Structure 1
Amino acid sequence: MKELIREAVQRLIVENKGNWSDSLSERYFDEPLVNFASGDDPLFEDFKQIIGPWHRTPREAFEAAYGEGSWRGGTVISWVMPWSKGLRDSNRICKERPSLEWTQAYFLSSKMLQKQVRTSLLAELAEYGHRGVAPADADWFSIVDSPSGKSSTWSERHAGYVAGLGTFGLNDAFISEKGMAVVLNSVVIDAVLPSDSRAAASHQANCLFYATGGCGACIARCPVNAISRSTGHDKNICMMFGYGPESNQLAAERGVQGPAGCALCQVGVPCESRNPSHSLKQHTTP
C-alpha cells in the first residue's frame, strides 16, 4: 500500500498539466519524497504545547470529518514537493522580490496544485475502502495569531518532521533530503501503515547553523532582515513582506491573484537542494 501511495503522489504531481512553466520550459515541481507517520505518534499531541493548543492532532482532524469516535488509528501521509532547478535558478538571482516564475509557482501550489493532489489521492484511496481527510482543506483550518507570530491549526512542516522527511532551519523553513526549496503537504487516512523512521538526532539537525554555529547564509538572503543569529526568524516581519499589501500588489501587477510570496532565503544557501548535514557526517567519519 505504501508503494502504491508513493506512486500515486508522484503521478499526481509530475503528470499534472498545471505543473509546467512555459518560461522555464520545465516543471515548477519535481518528483516528490513521500513518507508515513503513525497518526497516534505522541509528537502530534506534543505539538499542542510546542505550537499551541489550537493545533489539531490526526485524530481530531479525522473525527472532525467523520464524527467523534470514528478514529481507530491511522496514518499521516506527508510529502515534499521540490522546486525544479529552473525555478530555483530564477529565484536565486533575485535579491529584493521573488521571480515572476516563483510568484506563479506559489499561486499554483497554494491555490491549485496542492489541493488537486490531496483531493485526488484521497479519492483514489477511497476506492480501496480507506477514508481520509486533508487538514489544509478542512473548514476548521485557519491561520491564528500567536505570541511568536502567525501559526496554523495544522502544520505541514511539523507533519513532515514526524514522518521523518527532514528538520527545521534557522529561518524556520524545512530542510529535507531534497533541501529547503520545497513545499510540504499531507493527508490523514484510516489505514494503519508502517511508519518511516526519524533519522535526525534533533528537530534542527539538518541546519548547519545549529550543527556548527556557522553558516547563517539565509540571513544574508533575507531582504527585510527577518532572520538573525541571536533571535532566529521573525515571523511577523517575514509574513508582512511575503504576504502583505505590497506583495499582493506585486502579484496583481504580474497577473497573479496574490500574494507574490518570497522564499528568497531558501535558495542561494547550502541547503537549497540537499541535506547539508550529510557532508558533516562524512567529514567526521574516520
Structure 2
Amino acid sequence: MKPTLINDKMVARLQHCDNRVNSDFNSPEELAEMCEKIESQANPDHSVTLISLLSSYLEAKAMSHWFHGGDLATFKNLCYNILKLKYISGQPPCNNPRAHSVIGDRLFYLLSDHEPLISWFSQLMYDYEVKYSEPSMANSAGNYSLQLALALQGDIDLLGERAECFIETPPKNWTKRFLVDSQFYLALAKGDEQGMEAAIKELVTPRRLNYRKDWDEGAFTQGLIGTSAIIYSKLAWRYGYEIIVDSPYLPKEWIPVQPLENYEDEFDFMKAFPI
C-alpha cells in the first residue's frame, strides 16, 4: 500500500528525494565513475568523499522507493547498503570511520535489521563517546549517541542510571530537548511499556516534530517521518516490546525487527568488504 502524504511539506520533501535520485549527478554513468575511482584505491581520502555521496544518494533512493509504494525488502536492503558504505569508510585503505558523523544516519542503520553491521555501529559509537560514560555526565552533549549505543549493546542498567540522572537534574541548555528521550530510556530499562509508548507518542506530536526537526531529521527525512520515534520503536521491539504508535510519520511496516534472508550489495566494489 502506498503511504499517504498528509500535507504539502511531505509532498515537497518526497519531491526533493526524487530530484536527488534522478539528478544528472547520479546518472548510471556518474555512479559507475564514482565506484571505479573508489575501487582503484588511488586516493583514499577522496574515496571517503565519494562513499559519502553514494550513501546520500541511497538515502534519497530509499525514501523515494518507500513513499512511492515500494516494497519493504528493497527498502530494507537499501538501508543495509547505507550502513555498509559507512563501514567501508572505516576499513583499509580509507581508515576513516568518522564516528561523529555516523550517528546522523542512525535511522537507516536500525531499519536495515542487519545485526553484524548494527553491532559494528554500536561499538563505534560507544568507543567514541565512552568518555561520557559516568551517569553524572548524562546531560553532556555526548549523551544522546552514547545512550543509543548502550541500548543497542544491551547495557540496560547503565542506560537506566544515566536516563534517571538526566531526568532528576535536567539541563538548562539546548540538551534539555532530550528529556523525552531519557524518559523513553528509563521506561525501557524498567520494562515500562506504557512509558515507552507515551514517549514515542510525544515524539510524533506536531510540536515535537517541529522543535526537533533540525536535530532529528536530514535532507531526505524532514517532514516525512519522525526519526526518533521510529528509532525508539525499533529499540522497543529489539527488547521484546511490540509497540507500534499510529502516526503518518511512523511507518508501521518498518518497526518489527525482521532481518532479510539475503542482503545484496548495491555496488560491485562493496563485495570486497565482507562482514
Q: TM (normalized to structure 2)?
A: 0.28
Task: Choose between structure 1 and 2: higher helix proportion.
Answer: 2
TM-score by length of 1: 0.27
Higher relative contact order (CA 8 A, sep 6+): 1
